[in-house]
């Protein structure tokens, strides 16, 4: 090997293959024009940062070998998270729409039940009364299968979460805040009140 070749030979590490094109600086560290390639072992520390994906053999001072791969991974994770959130919101919206539709149908039947209650008060024919009660029970059974239940009122303690007091009366024989009469039945759908019961409450003087 000639003297000129020795002068041009890269001495930054035994594994460096820069050859005549080596442009390492005086501290034997590759600059931006270094052509060592994958075999470069200049420097002692990887500078990829927190998201370094380099293996244990990577020692490039200005290594960027893992950055592109890591960026794609971050993008993929964000896309997956966005898609998961989209699916969750879609399921919630579908469920809300389903519940809203059922509640609308249920509310349409409630006035029918009110009519049956009033009709039974004036029906004198036993056969007609039985027929009306049969239809009423069929509707109540269908609503019950959907998760609808009547709010208990008469004899129960008044609750603003279930009842709407339209009047108060004084009855010394009953406890305070006990419901004495039900003016209009209330109903719940899966533990959610869809119509409050209109009631008359006992209120004794203090």
Strand 163-169 relative to strand 187-189: parallel, antiparallel, unpaired?
unpaired
pTM (2 decimals)? 0.54
* Better-scored residue on pLDDT, 136 or 65: 136
Q: Give me the residue label for tokens 């004036």.
A: 122
CA 67-69-71 angle, to 5 degrees, is 65
Q: Phi/psi of residue 62, each to 5°?
A: -115, 40
Q: Which fold does the domain 150-206 belong to in CATH?
A: Nucleotide Exchange Factor Grpe; Chain A, domain 2 (2.30.22)
Domain ranges of the chain: 1-63, 150-206
Q: Which of 19-23, 92-96, 97-101 has the lowest mean pLDDT?
A: 19-23
pLDDT for 43 beyond 50: no
């Amino acid at each position: 090997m000639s003297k000129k070749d020795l002068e041009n030979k890269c001495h930054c590490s035994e594994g460096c293959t820069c050859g005549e094109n080596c442009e390492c600086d005086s501290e034997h560290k590759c600059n931006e024009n270094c052509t060592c390639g994958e075999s470069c072992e200049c420097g002692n520390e990887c500078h990829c940062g927190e998201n370094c994906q380099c293996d244990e053999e990577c020692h490039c001072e200005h290594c960027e070998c893992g950055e592109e791969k890591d960026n794609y991974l971050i993008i993929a994770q964000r896309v997956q998270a966005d898609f998961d959130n989209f699916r969750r919101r879609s399921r919630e919206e579908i469920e809300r729409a389903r519940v809203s539709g059922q509640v609308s149908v249920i509310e349409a039947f409630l006035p029918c039940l009110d009519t049956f209650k009033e009709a039974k008060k004036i029906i004198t024919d036993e056969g007609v009364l039985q027929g009306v009660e049969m239809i009423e029970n069929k509707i109540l059974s269908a609503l019950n299968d959907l998760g609808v239940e009547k709010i208990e009122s008469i004899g129960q303690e008044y609750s603003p979460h279930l009842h709407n007091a339209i009047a108060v009366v004084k009855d010394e024989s009953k406890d305070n805040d006990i419901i004495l009469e039900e003016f209009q039945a209330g109903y719940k759908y899966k533990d959610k009140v869809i119509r409050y019961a209109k009631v008359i409450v006992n209120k004794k003087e203090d």
